[in-house]
Amino acid sequence: MIIVPVKEGENIERALKKFKRKFEKTGAVRELRARKNFEKPSVIKRAARMKAIYVQHLHLQDEN
């Protein structure tokens, strides 16, 4: 459970912003979306490998 302490006289928008930030850091929405459709471990590994290749390619282009 996420608890956001609200100080006396603090703006409600600021408290909501803190709540949203904490909620995103937990990764609950990301996990729900990932669990919605099953992906085989091999597919997950392949996607991670392709992303690493893409990022490395971008870094090499920046150096040149």
Question: Read out DSSP for the chain?
Answer: -------TT--HHHHHHHHHHHHHHHTHHHHHHHHHS---HHHHHHHHHHHHHHHHHHHHHHH-
Residue 2 lies in a domain: no
Residue 20 lies in a domain: yes
Residue 39 lies in a domain: yes
- Say how many domains are in the chain: 1
Residue 58 lies in a domain: yes
pLDDT at 28: 92
Residue 3 lies in a domain: no
**pLDDT interval class at 63 (50, 70, 90):** confident
Residue 37 lies in a domain: yes
Kindly report, residue by residue over 3-60, the tens digit of the pLDDT: 998 988 889 999 999 999 999 999 999 999 999 999 999 999 999 999 999 999 999 9
